Amino acid sequence: MAGSSLGDREALELERLLHSLADRHRLRILNMLVRAGAPVCVCEFTAKLELPQQNISYHLKQLVAAGVIARQRRGRYSYYALVEGVLIQIAELVAQPGEVPA
């Protein structure tokens, strides 16, 4: 049986990241950001996900706190984008040493 390649620090980081994604609305937000390829206005999430603005803001705050997405203010509106390399970081934390994430 192979042992775990995750140390305590890596396991804690992965737990934090995966916990932030463990919600269907946050997964849909993440999917929208990946597909958009550019920052998305909070108002677009509200329209597409058909959720109240305060619910969207809560989910965005969770993703920002976990370091998955970044917020940028533009006048009255906030725009959100994936943190560069975050999906690769998650894949690398899960992968065994020597494996290259596809």
pLDDT value, residue 2: 60
The H helix count followed by the E strand count for the chain is 5, 3
pLDDT value, residue 98: 44
pLDDT value, residue 81: 96
Per the structure block, which two tokens stand in for 102?
A: 């596809």
> pLDDT at residue 24 above 80?
yes
pLDDT value, residue 78: 92
Query: What residue ranges do the domains of the chain occupy?
Result: 8-94
Average pLDDT value for residue range 28-56: 92
pLDDT tens for 71-97 read 999 999 999 999 998 888 878 777 755
Whole-angstrom CA distances from 57 to 1, 13, 36, 64 are 44, 23, 19, 10
The pTM of the full predicted model, rounded to 2 decimals, is: 0.79
pLDDT value, residue 97: 55
May I ask the CATH architecture of the domain 8-94?
Answer: Orthogonal Bundle (1.10)
